[in-house]
Structure 1
Amino acid sequence: MAFLEISDVRKQFQQNVVVKGFNLGIERGEFVSLLGPSGCGKTTVLRMVAGFESPSAGRILIDGKDVTPLRPNQRNVGMVFQAYALFPNMTVADNVAFGLKVAKRSPSEIKSRVEEMLAMIKLPHLASRYPYQCSGGQQQRVALARALAHKPKVLLLDEPLSALDAKIRVSLREDIRALQRSLGITTIFVTHDQEEALSMSDRVVVMNEGRVDQVGAPFEIYNDPATRFVANFVGTLSVLKGKVLDAKAGRIQVGKSEIIASRKIINHNVGDACSVALRPEAAVLENGHDLGSGRNRLGGTIDEVSFLGSVVRIRVKIDDDAISLDTFNNPSAIPPQRGAPVVVSFTPHDVLVLDGETKH
């Protein structure tokens, strides 16, 4: 049995079912992200684990104990909210100490633990400040320290970085992951930001309309999406219209050209329409250089060139569709010009067929 078990959990508000048959096992010390669009049910799952919502059906177990009927303060979980939720009339130190005081710990133990937590989040010099005197990133660190002060068995993070600017978000997510690893605490992180989920997690749970579409390591979620929704939601995709020529051999017609997919196409017959998808990093411009046999090739023209800093994104028009591809910025290279004819190539393994299921 996993350290945290969410079994057949369902949540219904009046006639609206927001979580449907949710099952997930999380091992001790694992960092798992719930990823999905707004309204998919991820925060509701988190609130049920915390005890702020009661499941309409199903059970939640922590370390073998059924906590489903228990109140939040009986579950030994720590939660960090999107809006910090710090007490404005308390100093940073008092905010961190709040849960310990409620638990009636001794003054010496509280003082020692607060000092330890402030050192851990690298803010001991802010102990006497009030929340309004701290930046957003500092406030979120304080909220994290408060959640961890009473040594919870499970840490719950509800989009804790969404209110911060881009640079602080990157810095803080690295700090959160490092802290989680050092403590070995079991963690659930809710986000709609795919980059956060992929960069921080041991596993990612992609949710769609109250259900789990796929659970897997970030590498698996990105490179081998189980459903069309996962493929579209996680990462950037270029989608081309195609027609199946030979499902068993993976042969597909795109425009006037034929390409090969390394995966057998099932639930399709010869002549069926399908959608062919590519990641931006999978396609390259051959530019007169033969990259070898066995690659798919499509001719087109440069439609747009966008400079994104370290990456240059090139959009190539192919018949009525387009492929976006990424190249690393090379200051000594001349970017391709709009309207220039080019050949885009990619391997059969890079081809995702989105209509219908695929398998290796």
Structure 2
Amino acid sequence: MAFLELEALDKSFGATPVVRRFDLAIEKGEFVSLLGPSGCGKTTVLRMVAGFETPSSGAIRIDGRDVTGLRPNQRNIGMVFQAYALFPNLTVSQNIAFGLRVKRVGRAEREARVAEMLSLVGLAEFGGRYPFQLSGGQQQRVALARALAVEPQVLLLDEPLSALDAKIRVSLRDQIREIQRRLGITTIFVTHDQEEALSLSDRVVVMSEGVAQQVGPPFEIYSRPATRFVAEFVGRLNVIDAVAGEAGDGVLRTGDVEIALGRPVPPGPVTLAMRPEVIGVGRADGRDLVFRGRIEDVHFLGSVIRIETRLGSAPLFLDTFNRPDRPPPALGEIGEFSVAASDVMVLGPGGSAVKVR
């Protein structure tokens, strides 16, 4: 039995369904991210776990206990919001101690716990300051310490990094993951930022229109997307319309280009999908599909150079590492490009990955 179980959750606001038949089982100590665009239902799922929203149907269980009908203060949940939600009239220490005071924890134990949390988040010298005297990253660490101080069974993080600048976001997300691993606390993290989800999580749930499109480890989500939505939402993707021949032998055509995948593909219209990094300039061992194209654009991105060409009539982007001893190709140049057939994903007309028997 999983530590946190979400079973067939549905949530509607009036006649509008927001979450539909949502199932998720999370093991104790696991870090799971809910990833998706705005309005996909991920925050609503989090709020149902926290008790701020009541499911229209379905069940929520924590460590075998049904908490579906319980109020937030009866669930032993810690939550960190996008807005820090600190009390401006309380010091850092008083903010962290707030939940402990509500639980009527004795003064000596409370002070010891606050000191422990301040040390945990690297703010041992800041207990006497007020929120307005802290940076955004420091305030969010105080919010995290306050959530952890009550020793919750589950930690919920609702886009806690979105208000921070890029450098602080990376630093704080690493710190959150380190603390989560050290404490072994079961965590759900909501984000629309794919890099955050992929770098932090044991598993990722990609959501769209209230439905979990795919659940899996970050590598699987990125490398083996189950649907076109997942493939396009997570990472950069080349999408090319093609037609598989009636023989079903894996020979496809896009425009005037023929592609032999070497594996059976059901006949009819399909979509080919390739990550830019799996396509290389020139020929190489293992990259058995070779085609020629004109360089239409070159984007210098620092460590990576993104080259734009075409496959048939479709634009095709490929990423190659910047090599100081090897300048990027010139605009208008005709070159050879190659990719391994195994790195070409085939998506059916409905957007699902084609299953090959």
Place the TM-score, normalised by the shorter chain, in its bin: over 0.9
Verify the 8 A CA contact 2:35 2:207 in the aligned structure 1. yes
Percent of aligned positions that are identical: 59
Tell me whether 1:255 sits opposite 2:261 in the alignment.
no
Tell me whether 1:351 sits opposite 2:347 in the alignment.
no
Q: Secondary structure at the match of 1:273?
A: strand
Q: Distance in 2 between matches of 1:13 and 1:87?
A: 31
Alpha carbons of structure 1 residues 92 and 291: separation in structure 2 relative to 1, 3 Å: same
Q: Distance in 2 between matches of 1:129 and 1:218?
A: 39
Q: Secondary structure at the match of 2:231?
A: helix
Name the counterpart of 1:284.
Answer: 280
Written as runs of structure 1 = structure 2, the 5 A alignment for 1:210-289 is 210-245=210-245, 248-261=248-261, 264-266=264-266, 269=267, 272-286=268-282
User: Which TM-score applies when normalising by structure 1?
Assistant: 0.95
Alpha carbons of structure 1 residues 49 and 247: separation in structure 2 relative to 1, 3 Å: farther
Alpha carbons of structure 1 residues 188 and 294: separation in structure 2 relative to 1, 3 Å: closer
Verify the 8 A CA contact 2:291 2:336 in the aligned structure 1. yes
Q: Distance in 1 between matches of 2:286 and 2:82?
A: 51
Q: Distance in 1 between matches of 2:79 and 2:95?
A: 14
1:245 Cα deviation from its structure 2 partner: 2.1
Name the counterpart of 1:172.
Answer: 172
Verify the 8 A CA contact 1:78 1:154 in the aligned structure 2. yes
1:251 Cα deviation from its structure 2 partner: 1.7
1:319 Cα deviation from its structure 2 partner: 3.7
Name the counterpart of 1:88.
Answer: 88
Q: Secondary structure at the match of 2:316?
A: strand
Q: Secondary structure at the match of 1:314?
A: strand
Q: Distance in 1 between matches of 2:54 and 2:260?
A: 50
Q: Distance in 1 between matches of 2:211 and 2:331?
A: 43
1:261 Cα deviation from its structure 2 partner: 3.2
Q: Distance in 2 between matches of 1:88 and 1:148?
A: 19
Q: Secondary structure at the match of 1:124?
A: coil
Verify the 8 A CA contact 1:6 1:23 in the aligned structure 2. yes
Written as runs of structure 1 = structure 2, the 5 A alignment for 1:88-127 is 88-127=88-127
Name the counterpart of 1:149.
Answer: 149
Q: Which residue identity does 2:348 align to in structure 1?
A: D
Q: RMSD of aligned C-alpha atoms?
A: 1.4
Q: Secondary structure at the match of 1:61?
A: strand
Q: Distance in 2 between matches of 1:53 and 1:102?
A: 22
Q: Distance in 1 between matches of 2:305 and 2:116?
A: 45
Tell me whether 1:9 sits opposite 2:9 in the alignment.
yes
Give the gaps of 5 or more residues in structure 2: none
> How many residues are paired up?
353
Name the counterpart of 1:309.
Answer: 302
Name the counterpart of 1:328.
Answer: 321
1:314 Cα deviation from its structure 2 partner: 1.0
Alpha carbons of structure 1 residues 305 and 114: separation in structure 2 relative to 1, 3 Å: same
